[in-house]
Copies of this chain bind each other. A is one copy, B any other.
Amino acid sequence: MTQQKQIDGKQVAEHNDRDKGVWIVVHGHVYDVTDFLDEHPGGAEIILRYAGMDATEEYEPIHPPDAIKDNLDPSKHIGQLIPNSLPKPQAASPAPPPASISVPQKTTSATGEPVAEEYVKPPLEEILSLHDFEAVARRTMSRRGWNYYSSGADDEITMRENHNAYHRLWFRPRILRNVGVVDFSTEILGYKSSMPVYITATALGKLGHPEGEVCLTRAAAEHNIIQMIPTLASCSFDEMVDAASPGQIQFMQLYVNSDRSRTNKIILHAKERGVKALFITVDAPQLGRREKDMRTKFEGTASAQQATGKDNFRRDQGAARAISSFIDPSLNWTDLGELMEAAKGMKVILKGVQCWEDAVRAAEAGCDGVVLSNHGGRQLDFAPSPLAILPSVVSALQSRGFMSRHPSQPKFEIFVDGGVRRATDVLKAVALGATAVGIGRPMIYAMSTYGQEGVSKALQILKDEFEMNMRLLGAPTMADVVPSMVDTSALHAPSGEVTMYDENCESAI
């Protein structure tokens, strides 16, 4: 990079609205984003809020490092900020804020005890289950990060149902089988995995940990687990591939851009870098409303607003809305051929299938598999849980000859994600016909609380649980985890969850 122009902060500060032009500072560089405002995936408002100011702190956790360079024409790179030259924002008088319908941090511990003010994170050795990471994350993550990860669409019924559905399946364990040695390794799309689990794609990892998604990459390597690289990671794609160990298998999740050349470029680059399978997200033509996340924006924004005197932007968009515009809502079955052509050599899987009809259509279209998923309950509230629809999907595919348990035959593979917290959850899905399950939030919580070491511990916990539970099920290998080992008679139950409405409900007396 050539010697850059030195820019005084006072000059930056003058470019603070559309008329005068909008400049912002990121990592010491000054950019003119006036023309980019209306193209910004996250909307113009969030940029206008930092017009004439340093936006680094806001930019950092939700963009890959080179996002601004890749998206702005080089002519818009104004130069380098002279250090400490930006005028300080005027301190606003500390007026009491109006009441906010916001999400408070819980002030009770996992056990219902009031949390002492000086919460100290427990040592990693005390973490016994994936639930524990979540309990610690809730207490230690930034509110913004916690709200982004933990939120679901609307009233969060689907988000809860994803886990609840597992609670409606009972096992039918077998006894007196030789379980001296149990082997829970499997193959996922032809690639070895130490267990029927992969780390699924989740966005904005740096909201949880400063190193971001590479923590997941490295922990996956430790445990011979496959990582699915997310389109919307905080780390760049190449950082995640570079972080992989030799021979480590990586898949990639793809949001299809309205500009297909951009998408094709991404696919080809992924193929070159050795990514083995492409998971095309089909449940998110628009990113969901996650109200808990949206409320985040109303907190702690007073000072910036007061300092600049601007309040004409909409603040009702959380981290989720800030990253949503890369997605083409017109994507449909007729586009699939082109994408598969571009991905030739990689497996192609549709991620976000939610009924058997679409699973069958995917198989007919030549895909290698589907992920039954509702995007972790973050998109359409009252979408069904993947587990609840799994039996009908398996049945429809088997009756049409797309699935077979015979190892020599070509096999259409089914994955599920959402709500998995225990090896028993995974075993239920596998018994019903899934190849493997994707785990998202628990890995992010492990990463956000203990970094790579946390993720590694989370995977080790799952392995311990697999060993235990396969012994107790009487299933020495994954091939022994068969449909007759689960009782699905109570699978289709009503939700019973009426969370928000109850909140507004008073009893008559």
Contacts and interface: CB of A to CB of B under 8 A. Distances in A.
B101 A122 contact: yes
A508 interface: yes
A154 B424 contact: yes
A489 interface: yes
Contacts of A284: 472
B384 A171 contact: yes
Contact of A131 (B167, B333, B496, B503): B503
A104 B99 contact: no
Given A286-B468, A500-B131, A295 B495 contact: no
Interface stretch (A10-18, A172-180, A198-206, A234-242): A172-180
The main secondary structure of chain A at its interface with chain B is loop
Interface in A119-162: 119-123, 125-129, 131-132, 134-136, 138, 150-152, 154-157, 160
A382 interface: yes
Among A154, A352, A465, A508, the most chain B Cβ lie within 10 Å of the Cβ of A508
Interface residues on A, range: 35 or more
16 contacts: A99-B109, A101-B132, A101-B135, A110-B509, A111-B507, A111-B509, A125-B316, A126-B295, A129-B291, A163-B501, A171-B354, A284-B472, A285-B472, A288-B472, A383-B472, A503-B509
Interface of A: 98-104, 106, 109-111, 113, 116, 119-123, 125-129, 131-132, 134-136, 138, 150-152, 154-157, 160, 163-164, 167-180, 282-286, 288-289, 291-292, 294-295, 298, 314-316, 328-333, 335-336, 350, 352-355, 357-358, 374, 379-384, 388, 421-422, 424, 428, 464-465, 467-469, 471-473, 487, 489-490, 492-501, 503-509
Q: Which 7 residue pairs spanning A and B have beta carbons closest together? A: A180-B330, A380-B472, A490-B494, A168-B494, A175-B282, A134-B504, A98-B120
